[in-house]
Structure 1
Amino acid sequence: MRFSTEAAITKLRPTTDNDTLGGRIWRARDALNLSAKDLANQLGVKVDTIAAWERDRSEPRTNRLFMLAGILGVPPVWLIAGIGDAPKDDLAEPATMRLRDQLAAVRKAHDETGKAISALELALTRVLQDIES
Structure 2
Amino acid sequence: MGGRLSRARDATGLTTAELARRLGVKTSTIQAWESDRSQPRANRLTMLAGVLNVSLSWLLHGIGASPADESRSELVQAVSANLKRLRRLHEESGRVIAQIEQDLLRASNSQ
Under a length normalisation based on structure 2, what TM-score does the superposition of the two structures give? 0.61
Where 1:23 maps in the other structure, the secondary structure is helix
Aligned residue for 2:55? 75
In structure 2, give the amino acid aligned to 1:57.
Answer: R
Q: Which amino acid aligns with 1:36?
A: T
In proportion to residue count, which structure has more helix?
2
**Residue type at the aligned position of 1:63:** N
Q: What is residue 31 of structure 1 aligned with on the other side?
A: 11
Larger radius of gyration: 2
Residue identity matched to 1:42? R
Instruction: State the Cα distance separating 1:90 from its structure 2 match.
Output: 4.7
Q: Residue type matched to 1:29 in 2?
A: R
Counting only pairs closer than 5 Å after superposition, residues 1-133 of structure 1 correspond to structure 2 as: 21-88=1-68, 90=71
Unaligned runs of 5+ in 1: 1-20, 94-133
Which of structures 1 and 2 has the larger relative contact order (alpha carbons within 8 angstroms, sep 6+)?
1
SS for the counterpart of 2:31 is: helix
Q: CA deviation at 1:85?
A: 1.4
What is the TM-score when the length of structure 1 is the normalising length? Answer: 0.51
Identity among equivalent positions (%) equals 56
* Structure 2: gaps of 5 or more residues: 76-111
